[in-house]
Amino acid sequence: MSFSSFVLDPEAFSAIVLTLQLATATTVLLLLLATPLAWWLSQSQSKWRAPIGALVTLPLVLPPSVLGFYLLVAMGPNGPLGQFTQSLGWGVLSFTFTGLLIGSIIFSLPFAVQPIQHAFESIGPRPMEVAATLRAKPLDAFFSVALPLAKPGLITAAILSFAHTVGEFGVVLMIGGNIPDKTRVVSTQIYGHVEAMEYAQAHVLAAGMVVFSFVVLLALSFMRKRTSRVLS
């Protein structure tokens, strides 16, 4: 096995770039979506709180292939989302980067919502009550009091969402397939190398994923220690 076998080819670089683009876009959109949702789940007494919380958590227990299949059907030409996008002249979203993005957001939603929700719940009602006595409007109190106090949860959510998106396989393969420069990410690139018995190239990408996962866990551990010091 020569050294050249371990050098990344253009297809691998393309898959890495696409993976980073997907993970970054997913993380940014998830933070925008998960923050108000987590706030509502942490504060609401509505009867819908439990069902919506269970729906958000569903991707944690649902097999990725099952979730990917139903998303593929929904985005297909005969699915409700596919028919809607076709009526707007956008075509179908299956086997496109946009379709991958939507699937990644849904699949990684609990990894963003839960840390932020726990951060909001740990704040307690007292800071918001104090802000209310100072005549701060609820929206102002949310941005000036709740969000800064929930910063560790937001950072944890961002790290977990990014890492989880990078490691996706089942949902990505079902929705996007393995189209070069379009929907081929690192996980499906590794799968393609293994299918072609190109183990050297698969080793390089897989080892990179292992190192990346270790760095993520290290960052989360550092965040927990730093948070515990601040709270103490």
CA distance 121 to 195: 46
**Average of per-residue pLDDT across 164-179:** 88
pLDDT tens profile 23-57: 999 999 999 999 999 999 999 888 999 999 999 99
Q: What is the pLDDT of residues 83-126, one digit of tens each?
A: 999 988 888 898 999 999 999 999 999 999 999 999 999 988 88
Q: Spell out a b/e string for 192-219, using b for 16 or more CB atoms within 10 Å of the CB, else e.
A: bbeeeeeeebbebbbeebeeeeeebeee
pLDDT, tens only, 50-86: 999 999 999 999 999 899 999 999 998 889 998 999 9
Q: Yes or no: say if 202 and 190 are a contact pair by the CB < 8 Å rule.
A: yes
At residue 120, the pLDDT reads 93
> Which residue segments constitute the domains of the chain, with CATH numbers given?
13-183 (1.10.3720.10)
For residue 139, the model assigns a pLDDT of 87
What is the per-residue pLDDT for 55? 94
pLDDT at residue 224 above 80? no
Alpha-carbon distance 45 to 188, whole Å?
42
Q: How far is CA 218 from the centre of its chain?
A: 19
pLDDT score recorded for residue 216: 84
d(CA 115, CA 160): 9
| pLDDT tens per residue, range 121-148 | 998 888 888 888 888 788 888 888 889 8
How far is it, in rounded angstroms, from Cα 202 to Cα 206? 6
2 pLDDT exceeds 50?
no
**pLDDT attached to residue 217:** 82
